[in-house]
Structure 1
Amino acid sequence: MSILSELWGDLVSLLFPARCAVCGSPLVRGERTVCTLCRATAPLTGYWAEADNPVFRKCWGLVPLHRASGFLFFVHGSGWRQLIHGFKYRGAWRTAREMGEWYGACLAEGGLYDDVDVVVPLPLHPFKRLRRGYNQSEYIAEGIAAQLGIEVDRRSVVRRRNTASQTRQPRRERARNVEKAFAVRRPERLAGRHVLLVDDVMTTGSTLLSCAAEILRAVPGCRVSIAALAVPRRELGIRE
C-alpha cells in the first residue's frame, strides 16, 4: 500500500469511523466488525468443542445428526441481537461473513469438524431471496468454509416452498410449517460426504432439522451435522 493510500484510508476512518456492530463504539486499527472488548465478553457457547452438548441433545431422537453446535447465545435486548438483526434484516451481509469466519476458526480449533467435506447454507426460497437481496446463511457458510478449507455448495439443496416466517408461528406449528419445504436437486454431489448445514439462528430447530432430514432421506450414504450461529438459552433449557 502506498503512503498516499494509507493516508487517505486514515482520513476516511477519521471522518467516518467504522463502529462495532455490537456496542457501537468506533473501531480502532486492527479491529473488524466487533471491537476487542465485545469479543472478549461475547456470550460464546463453547459447544463446537463438545460432542455431547445441549444443541446436539436437543436433536436426539429427531434426526440422526453426526454433530451439532451453536456459536453464540442469542441474548434478547443485547447488542449481539442487534448484530444478528443487522445482517438478517438490514443488509449488513459482510458482518455475516466475518462472524462465519470467527465461528469457522473455532470449529477448526475444536477438532470435532475436521472431517466435514462440504458446507451447505440453509436455502431461502427464491422469492424471499429476491426480496432480501441475499441469503445471510450463505455468507456465514462462506466464512466457515474459508476457515475449514472446504467448499460451499449453494445449489444441491433448495427450498421449494415459500413458507411463512417461523418467528410468527406458534411453537406447535413450526414443524408443520416447514414440512416438505426442502428438496435435494443434486444428490450425487453430497453422496458419501460429511455435510455441514449452516443457519443463522436456531430456535426450536424445526427448520434446520427438516432440511437435515431431507438431505439424509435423499442421500442416505452421507452424514449431516448442523452449525447455527446463535441459539437462545431458553430453547436449550438453560436459564438466562
Structure 2
Amino acid sequence: MSILSELWRDLSALLFPPRCAVCGEPLAAGERTVCTLCRATAPLTGYWREADNPLFRKCRGLVPVCRASAYLFFVRGSGWRRMIHGFKYRGAWRPARTVGEWYGASLREGGLHDDVDAVVPLPLHPLKRCLRGYNQAEYIAEGIAAQLGVGLLRGCVVRRRNTPSQALRPRRERAGNVAGAFAVVRPERLAGRHVLLVDDVVTTGSTLLSCAETILAAVPDCRVSIAALAVSRRELGEEG
C-alpha cells in the first residue's frame, strides 16, 4: 500500500468512522460491524441449543421439518430490528453476512445441525431481486454455510410468482399469498440431502414453510431444516 493510500485510509477513518450497525455509535478499535455493548445485549433466542424450541414446534405442526431455529428475537424498537430492516429495505446489506457468520458459529457450537449437507437461501423473485440489487437471505446464508463448512446452493429453488410483501398483508392472508410461489428446478442437487433453508425474518412463517413444503413435495428424500435470522416473539405467543 502506498503512503498516499495509507493517508487516505486514515483520513477517511477520521472523517467517516465506521459505526455500529445496531446503535449507530462509532466502532472502537477491534470492533466489527456491531459494537461490543450491542453484541452483549443482543436479544438472542438460544434456540440453536434447543431441539424442541417454540419455533420448531410452530413449524413442525405444519410442515415436517427436521429442525427450526432463529438467532434473534425481532423486538419492537430494537436496534437489531432496525439493522435487519436496513438490509431488507434500505440497501444496507453489508452487516447481513457478518451476522450470518455469528449465527453459523452458534449453530455449529450448538451441535444440532451437524448433519446439514448444504444451505439454501430463500429465493427472491427475479424482478424483486433486480430492483433491490441483491437477496439479503443469500448474504446470511453465505455466513452460515462458511461456519458450518458446507456448500451454498443457489438456483435449486426459484420464486416463480412476485408476491406482495408479507409485511403488508393481513396475517390471515399470508399463507394464501405465497401458495404456489416456489418451484424446485434442480431436484438432483437436493436429492438425499439435509438442507438448511435460510431467511431473514419469520413472522407467521408462511413464506419459509411454503418453500420447505415445495422442496419436500418435489424431492421426497430431501430433509429440510429452517434457520431464520430473527423471529417475531408475538407469533410465538411471547411479549415483544
Structure 2 residue aligned with 1:188 = 188
Q: CA deviation at 1:10?
A: 3.4
Q: CA deviation at 1:131?
A: 0.7
| Whole-angstrom distance in 2 between the partners of 1:191 and 1:63 | 18
Segment drifting more, 84-93 vs 135-144? 84-93
Structure 2 residue aligned with 1:201 = 201
Q: CA deviation at 1:159?
A: 0.3
Structure 2 unaligned blocks of 5 or more: none
Q: CA deviation at 1:86?
A: 1.0
What does 1:42-61 correspond to in 2, within 5 Å?
A: 42-61=42-61
Question: Which digits, 9 at most, give the CA deviation of each residue in 1:106-136, with x for residues without a partner?
Answer: 1111111111111000000001111111100
| Whole-angstrom distance in 2 between the partners of 1:101 and 1:63 | 27
Structure 2 residue aligned with 1:143 = 143
Partner secondary structure for residue 62 of structure 1: coil
**Identical amino acids, percent of aligned pairs:** 79
Structure 2 residue aligned with 1:130 = 130
> Which amino acid is 1:139 matched to?
Y
What does 1:19-38 correspond to in 2, within 5 Å?
A: 19-38=19-38
What does 1:71-82 correspond to in 2, within 5 Å?
A: 71-82=71-82
| Whole-angstrom distance in 2 between the partners of 1:116 and 1:82 | 30
Classify 1:3/1:230 alpha carbon distance in 2 versus 1 (closer, same or farther; 3 Å).
same
| Whole-angstrom distance in 1 between the partners of 2:28 and 2:7 | 15
Structure 2 residue aligned with 1:111 = 111
TM-score, normalised via structure 2 length:
0.96
Question: Which digits, 9 at most, give the CA deviation of each residue in 1:204-237, with x for residues without a partner?
Answer: 0000000000000001001100000011111101
* Number of equivalenced pairs: 240
Q: Provide the alpha-carbon RMSD of the alignment.
A: 1.4
Question: Which digits, 9 at most, give the CA deviation of each residue in 1:169-207, with x for residues without a partner?
Answer: 111110000001000000000000001000000000000
| Whole-angstrom distance in 2 between the partners of 1:238 and 1:197 | 24
| Whole-angstrom distance in 2 between the partners of 1:112 and 1:7 | 47
What does 1:166-185 correspond to in 2, within 5 Å?
A: 166-185=166-185
Q: CA deviation at 1:76?
A: 1.4
Structure 1 residue aligned with 2:225 = 225
| Whole-angstrom distance in 2 between the partners of 1:118 and 1:2 | 42
> Which amino acid is 1:130 matched to?
C
| Whole-angstrom distance in 1 between the partners of 2:150 and 2:192 | 15
Partner secondary structure for residue 34 of structure 1: coil
TM-score, normalised via structure 1 length:
0.96
Structure 1 residue aligned with 2:18 = 18
